[in-house]
Amino acid sequence: MPASAASQLVDPRGATGRLLAHYDAHARPLPWRSPPGSPPPHPYLVWLSEVMLQQTTVASVEPRFHRFVARWPTLQSLAEAPEEQIFAEWAGLGYYARARNLIACARQVAERGGFPTHEAELRKLPGLGAYTAAAIAAIAFGRRAVVIDTNVARVIARLHALDRPLAALGPDIRRLADSLTPDDRPGDFAQAMMDLGATLCRPRSPGCAACPLSADCRAFARGEPQRFPAPAPKRAPRQRFGTAWWIERAGSVWLVRRPKHGLLGGMAALPGTEWGEQGPPGGSGPVIRHAFTHFALDLRVATASEPVGEGWWQPVARLGEAGLPTLYMKAAEAILAGRIRDAA
């Protein structure tokens, strides 16, 4: 059914009211939120949480959010922090371009004296795309904005039984979400939609019996909500190969910092070769397999004797303090685990 026809099947006013009532009773208590119906949280907390939540689960973000706010309780304190400290604190969260944008945005907002309050102006800040800007405008400033993340898009697609992949539904999803978005309590509505997609309208095994929108939902009426939206076609990831060098001396390992621009930019790392499509790498040493967004990497960890590039000696016993991203922590753990096996 075309989206224009499907949109007539949902009563926007009734559906929105039921969703907000459900949110009032069942909102997830998250550290960056205010309780339903209360004054909005500080824009700094909303922005920080939304940047952290990009491509990352709430369960992973929550403890890291607490640590960030404890260390840098204000935007000004974050803007003044050394980049290396922020990169180290970000280690393990992945998608490290977010850390670079976080620094650039904090400094720009501090310089201008605060966050802009409108979606269009927020989108001009580093790292703020359509979703993040709309979420901050609605949640922090009470502006009516159409907030669409993957969870929200799935809810809309099921409400209207849209059976194409989400990537092909962008304009339809936006228009239909707009028809539900109220002028009053736009921040609560945005969070209610996110919660609905995360807790009930899940990709698999949706909890339709408890859903406040089941009476409006065409996918539920058809008895096959999991069929909507259609799955995206799967593509085999590209494969890349590289070598990292474990250079140890007197109980310390040689670390370098990756170039600021590019993958894992600015992060601490083991020195090594460029990653290319020629491989697999030869030599001895464990091979670490790691998945990035657009490719898979096989990284051989080989031992070497002389320092490479500009860097520093990091005590192996304090390697966890270096801010290594997951790839290089896996490499270090493989070396150290092999040493334990050899000694057994």
Respond yes or no: is residue 50 known to be catalytic.
yes
Contact 172, 157 (CB under 8 A): no
Cα separation, 214 vs 208, in Å, equals 6
Rg (CA), the chain: 23
Is the CA virtual torsion 105, 111, 113, 117 positive or negative?
negative
Residue with tokens 């400033």: 141
Distance CA(342)–CA(122), nearest Å, equals 55
Phi, psi of 239 (to 5 degrees): -115, 135
Hey, is 206 helix, strand or coil?
coil
- Residues with Cβ within 8 Å of 253's Cβ and at least 6 positions away in sequence, in order, are 246, 247, 270, 313, 314, 316, 319, 332
User: What is the number of other CB atoms lying within 10 angstroms of the CB of residue 246?
Assistant: 21
- Give me the half-sphere count of Cα atoms (radius 13 Å) on the Cβ side of residue 173: 24
Cite the active site residues. 50
